[in-house]
Each structure stands twice: as C-alpha cells, then as structure tokens.
Amino acid sequence: MFFPRTDLKKALDIIQHARHIFCVCHRGPDGDAIGSLLGMGLFIESALQKNVTFHCSDDIPDMFLFLPGAQRIQRVPEVTENDAIVFLDCAEPKLTEMHETHLQFFDGSIPSINIDHHPSNPLFGLVNFVIPDASSACEIIVHLADEFSWSFTPDIATCLLTGMYTDTGGLLHSNTSYRVYRTVARLLREGGRHQCMVQTIFRTAKMSTLRLWGRVLENIVVTEDGGAVAAVRQGDFKAAGASYSDLTNAIDYVNAVPGMRFSLILSERDGKVKGSLRTLCDDIDVSAMASRFGGGGHRKAAGFSLVGNLKQELRWKVVSRSSDQDGAGGGGVPSSDDGCGDGS
C-alpha cells in the first residue's frame, strides 16, 4: 500500500503539534467505523502520548461494546485552538452529522486527517489517506502504523481485526484479497483476540435482534428486475423491542436469496428512511443506485437516507395464461428504475 512521503510527514506533524486529537467516525457506525476509530486513537495515545477523545453522533451497537475503549466514545466534540481531527471511515462530511454544526471541521480551520476506503470520498481532509481498493479503513491504518513505526498492542490489534472482519463479511466478501489475509494474519500475531470477536459479533444475537430480523425476512418482496427488497417500519422496532442498531447485518440474509441481483432494506428512523444495498453480482453497481438519492458507498455495498416515511403499495397486473403463473399478481415495490432506492 503506497503513501506519498509528503502526506506521511504532514500527518505526523499534525498529530505531534496538536494539543488534543479528536477521532471521528460516521453515523450509524459499523465494525470498520468503530474499529478504525478506536484503533487509530489508541495508536496515537500509545505511540505519541497524545490526549485523544473518540466521537460518533450515534450510539454504539451493543455487539461492539466489547472493544477496548468503546465505553469512551462520546457524541459531538468541543474543539478549541491547537486541536486536530482524524476522520475515520467517513465517505463524506455529512456522514459525521457534524457538517452543519461544526463547519470549522471541514473549512481548513482545524488540521484534519482523512482515512477512508470509499471511492466517492471527496478528499475533505488537509491530509487524505483514501485507498479505494483497501478492504476497510482498518486495513489502511495497519499499513500507516508500519510507515510510522508504531508498535501494536493486543487491544489495538483486536479493534483493527474487528473492522477488517466485519467489512469483509468474515472474509467472505469479494473485497477479501490476498493482502487482507496477510494483514489479518499480522493482527493475529500481534495478539488480536479473534475468538472473542467472532463469538461476540457473529455468534451472539439478542432476542430483540432475532425478532426484528424475523420481521425483515417475513416481508421480503422480489422485484421484476431481480431485487430482494424488505421494509421495516418504526412500529416493527417497537414491537420487537429492538433498537436501530439491531438491524445491523440483516442485509446479509436478504442478500442470500438465490438468484437475486441486488438486495435492499428500507427502514424508518425518526422521520427518515434509511436503506442498505448489497449485491453479489459483478455487473451491478449499487453505489450508482445510492447516488441517485444522495447516498454512496462501494460497488457492492452502499446506502442512503431520505427525509420521510414508508408507505406500502399493492400492485396488480394481468398476464396471459401462457405466462409464468408466479407473475399473475401480488404485492410489490417499485423496481430500482422506479426509485426503489438504497440505504446507509
């Protein structure tokens, strides 16, 4: 992984001359957001003895609370002079939910470092380490740490291992390259607690989570253009006793429907509709779908958020007797060409 020497020097200067470092990840945090947030912050603390705080505009999903430092994550930071910011896994400023309340974060007033792997990233940091072919922000941090000669600890390795595992679907997604396996092996050698991470994230689910996923799976609709679409209303969260974070990873089950070209979950959340898009097909770009609604992401995983609520529709059509009887009628949602959307 290549980093320009000038960028490495600028980044190190920003960190060394800052009185306080704020590490910030995106809203609705996933494993890579939290893993990179904590991993980078702990690196800066241990290697440079700097004062670091961790920030996210949303609550941390329970499944990630086992990570070292997770209990230290706060909401919006209060910035003063001689501070600096490190953005982790943020594809664009608005995903921090601080783009309107903290303009100084993004106008160059405060030195910032942007570490990300989303190809749509507009390079909003003073220094940008944006590597689109990296599996995760955590993978980038591993290589940055080597460039800076920072020493790993088991806590740091566990945080970064979690981000790499979750963003590759447990090393199952197509972004799992040979470099990913080498980096994961490196983190295991550095003391990354693999079994603790696997047990907590992949083999443990609360009853509220299972009830919510049951509602998701129950209302999957298959569209004519090969999409598996499910919707979750605000009342579904309440009925299941679930939080918004309980929806994490449900999209992987929707995406498992055989023969589907893409999958989509739409969910109501406090006056907004959010969604998640996934695909296993090489000829489908779900980030292009997401961009039509102000969202973004990767070719095979993307999302968006819109102000509004969900409204169910029922559609019928008449077909000839010679047609496939499965298409004779039934409920449906618009196809991706009709504005069915994407999610974050």
pLDDT, one tens digit per residue, over 77-86 is: 888 788 999 9
DSSP for 26-81?
-SS--HHHHHHHHHHHHHHHHHH--EEEEE-SSPPPGGGTTSTTGGG-BSS----T
Lowest mean pLDDT segment, chosen from 26-40, 215-229, 233-247, 315-329 = 315-329
| Pair 230, 219: CB distance under 8 Å | yes
CATH number of the domain encompassing residue 191: 3.90.1640.10
Which string of b and e fits 114-149 if b means at least 16 CB within 10 Å? Answer: bbbbbebbeebbbbbbbbeebbbbbbbbbbbbebbe
What residues contact residue 318 under an 8 Å CB cut-off, 6+ apart? none
Domain of residue 63 covers: 5-201
User: What would the mean pLDDT of 207-212 be, rounded to a whole number?
Assistant: 95
Residue 343 has pLDDT above 60, yes or no: no
Tell me whether residue 344 is in a domain. no
* Alpha-helical runs (H) found in 265-317: 286-291
Q: Do 232 and 170 fall within a single domain?
A: no
Residue 328 has pLDDT above 80, yes or no: no
Q: Do 160 and 35 fall within a single domain?
A: yes
Q: Do 178 and 211 fall within a single domain?
A: no
Question: What's the number of domains the chain is made of?
Answer: 2
CATH number of the domain encompassing residue 321: 3.10.310.30
> What is the percent of the chain where pLDDT is above 70?
93
Task: For the chain, give the mean pLDDT.
Answer: 91
End-to-end CA distance of the chain: 28
* Amino acid residing at 190: E
Q: Do 68 and 212 fall within a single domain?
A: no
Q: Could you report the per-residue pLDDT of 94-153, keeping only the tens digit for each? A: 999 999 888 899 999 999 999 999 999 999 999 999 999 999 999 999 999 999 999 999
Q: Could you report the per-residue pLDDT of 140-191, keeping only the tens digit for each? A: 999 999 999 999 999 999 999 999 999 999 999 889 999 999 999 999 999 9
Tell me whether residue 19 is in a domain. yes
Tell me whether residue 334 is in a domain. yes
| Pair 19, 82: CB distance under 8 Å | yes
Q: Do 102 and 161 fall within a single domain?
A: yes
Q: Do 244 and 326 fall within a single domain?
A: yes
Tell me whether residue 118 is in a domain. yes
Last residue of a domain, one of 185, 201, 217: 201
User: What would the mean pLDDT of 7-26 be, rounded to a whole number?
Assistant: 97
Last residue of a domain, one of 166, 184, 201: 201
What residues contact residue 310 under an 8 Å CB cut-off, 6+ apart? 231, 233, 266, 268, 273
Last residue of a domain, one of 150, 180, 201: 201
Q: Do 137 and 25 fall within a single domain?
A: yes
Tell me whether residue 279 is in a domain. yes
Tell me whether residue 55 is in a domain. yes
* Alpha-helical runs (H) found in 104-153: 137-148
User: What would the mean pLDDT of 272-285 be, rounded to a whole number?
Assistant: 94
| Angle subtended by helix axes 194-202 and 154-167, to nearest 10 | 40
The model's pTM is 0.86
> What is the structure's pLDDT at 76?
84
CB atoms within 10 A of CB 70: 17
Q: Do 196 and 296 fall within a single domain?
A: no
* Alpha-helical runs (H) found in the chain: 5-17, 31-48, 137-148, 154-167, 178-189, 194-202, 207-218, 234-240, 250-254, 286-291
337 pLDDT tier (thresholds 50, 70, 90): very low
Residue 250 to residues 152, 226, 239, 254, 313, Cα–Cα distance (Å): 33, 19, 17, 7, 23
Q: Do 178 and 219 fall within a single domain?
A: no
Q: Do 130 and 146 fall within a single domain?
A: yes
Q: Do 118 and 190 fall within a single domain?
A: yes
Tell me whether residue 343 is in a domain. no
DSSP β-bridge partners for residue 222: 228
Q: Do 52 and 181 fall within a single domain?
A: yes
Tell me whether residue 263 is in a domain. yes
